[in-house]
Amino acid sequence: MKPRILTNPQEVLDTADKCDVCFVSMVDTHGMPYMVPMNFGLKDGIIYLHSAQTGRKIDILKTNPNVCVGFTNDHKLRWQNEDVACSYSMKYRSIRAYGTVRFIENEQQKIDALNIIMHKYTGKEFGYNAPSIREVLCWCVDVNKWEGKVYGY
Ligand SMILES: Cc1cc2nc3c(=O)[nH]c(=O)nc-3n(C[C@H](O)[C@H](O)[C@H](O)COP(=O)(O)OP(=O)(O)OC[C@H]3O[C@@H](n4cnc5c(N)ncnc54)[C@H](O)[C@@H]3O)c2cc1C
């Protein structure tokens, strides 16, 4: 079975959006890789994220905002002969996005970003109090390249 490279941009975005978690990879000032799994929202091809104001990923992103974000779902083990190790493989859908992180400062834009994330997981809209909005760091990834690959589906 051959993998299928996704060429339809909407299929790429829909596949990413169906994932629960994304994996945000970055590179620090010493050229060392770092990755964090994160919840996310996706709207108009922009990835929305939220976090604490501080921490290792934020230190890195402030010096190098370039990221590669991974998404996978529909993992399913398959095999042709259950006694032959080499006949096993895993079905999957996998998406990658390359882009640049932008920190969101504007209060209303932060609320919009949080609602994009919350809507993905709950289907609901929420209100937020001012201190929570001040404390949370909202950021997004302006994506310049999407890639998608599907195996087994
Ligand atoms: C399913 C899932 C969803 C998540 N969603 C979010 C989210 O939406 N927003 C968010 O901010 N965080 C989320 N997290 C947590 C996130 O992966 C990081 O652990 C967290 O953001 C702290 O990252 P940091 O770089 O600030 O680490 P710091 O707090 O600075 O941590 C310092 C050290 O702790 C270790 N460490 C940190 N994170 C991890 C990790 N994930 N795995 C192993 N070691 C680690 C590393 O050694 C790191 O150098 C999620 C995690 C999971 C598994």
**Domain of residue 36, CATH code:** 2.30.110.10
Q: Whose CA is nearest to atom 52 of ligand 1?
A: 37
- Asked if pLDDT for residue 1 goes beyond 90, the answer is no
- Expressed as residue numbers, the domain containing 45 is 4-151
**Ligand 1: distance of its center to the CA of 78 in Å?**
31
Average of pLDDT values for 14-38? 98
Q: Determine if ligand 1 sits within 6 Å of the CB of residue 21.
A: yes
Q: Looking at residue 95, what is its pLDDT?
A: 98
Q: What is the pLDDT of residues 129-153, one digit of tens each?
A: 999 999 999 999 999 999 999 999 9
Q: Is 133 helix (H, G, I), strand (E, B) or coil?
A: helix
> Cβ atoms within 10 A of the Cβ of 5, count?
9
Q: Please count the structural domains in the chain.
A: 1
> In angstroms, rounded to a whole number, what is the distance separating the alpha carbons of residues 119 and 109?
15
> In angstroms, rounded to a whole number, what is the distance separating the alpha carbons of residues 67 and 79?
34
Percent of the chain with pLDDT over 90: 99
Q: Looking at residue 63, what is its pLDDT?
A: 98
Distances (CA, A) of 30 to 23, 25, 58, 63, 134: 21, 15, 15, 11, 31
Q: Looking at residue 37, what is its pLDDT?
A: 98
Q: Looking at residue 21, what is its pLDDT?
A: 98
Q: What is the pTM of this model?
A: 0.96
> In angstroms, rounded to a whole number, what is the distance separating the alpha carbons of residues 74 and 69?
18
Instruction: Tell how far CA 2 is from the center of its chain.
Output: 25
Q: Determine if ligand 1 sits within 6 Å of the CB of residue 89.
A: no
